[in-house]
């Protein structure tokens, strides 16, 4: 698999290609299905690179880029069916490629006083505009941990504190 890599000051990220996202969708969501709007999938795949190149420095974090990629795949709606599932699968692969793993909490995670939100509700929340990319970033931070971290502590909670996984 070819991977794009880009370096930002003191941080290096690996990105998924459009072809890799196509393979994820075909393998796990709907075999032998091509996007009805392939250019929109390509645009979504390039969104994190564009954010890193042109967005403000506060958006140059792994979790923001993952949330940005997720939002673009869902809202660009390149496939007739399975866009949210493809977006979530792609976000997980992107984080894993960069050394993190999402571990959803059974009871959900609280984001900005909105009560406990489960992963599937967070994904739908972005589509219906109840959550924005920044909120999804915080969600991903709260449910992710470094690959190989055996102590069960997430990367960082939404308020900046470590959270033990249940």
Query: Block means of pLDDT (10 residues each) for the chain, length 166 residues?
Result: 48 93 96 95 98 96 98 98 97 98 93 86 96 96 88 44 34
Q: What is the pLDDT of residue 5?
A: 52
Q: What is the pLDDT of residue 111?
A: 83
Q: Tell me the two tokens of residue 29.
A: 């969501």
CATH of domain 4-146: 1.20.120.1870
From the number of C-beta atoms within 10 Å of its C-beta (0-12, 13-18, 19+), residue 81 rates as exposed
Q: Note the helical H segments in 31-118.
A: 38-54, 62-76, 83-97
Residue spans per domain, the chain = 4-146
Cα–Cα distance measured from residue 155 to residue 92, given in angstroms and rounded to the nearest whole number:
14
Q: What is the pLDDT of residue 53?
A: 94
Q: What is the pLDDT of residue 114?
A: 72
Q: What is the pLDDT of residue 13?
A: 96
Q: What is the pLDDT of residue 66?
A: 98
- Answer yes or no: are the C-beta atoms of 108 and 66 closer than 8 Å: no
Compute the Cα dihedral for 74, 64, 98, 123 and give only its sign: negative
């Amino acid at each position: 698999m070819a991977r794009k890599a880009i370096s930002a000051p003191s941080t290096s990220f690996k990105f998924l290609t459009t072809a890799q996202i196509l393979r994820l969708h075909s393998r796990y969501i709907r075999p032998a299905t091509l996007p009805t709007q392939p250019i929109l999938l390509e645009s979504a795949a390039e969104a994190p690179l564009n954010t890193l190149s042109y967005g403000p420095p506060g958006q140059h974090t792994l979790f923001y880029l993952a949330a940005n990629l997720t939002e673009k795949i869902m809202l660009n709606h390149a496939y007739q069916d399975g866009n949210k599932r493809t977006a979530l699968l792609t976000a997980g692969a992107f984080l894993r490629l960069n050394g993190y793993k999402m571990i959803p909490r059974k009871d959900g995670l609280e984001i900005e006083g909105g009560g406990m939100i489960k992963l599937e509700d967070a994904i739908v929340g972005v589509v219906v505009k109840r959550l924005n990319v920044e909120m999804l970033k915080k969600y991903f931070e709260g449910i992710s941990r470094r690959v190989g971290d055996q102590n069960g502590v997430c990367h960082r909670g939404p308020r900046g504190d470590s959270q033990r996984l249940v």
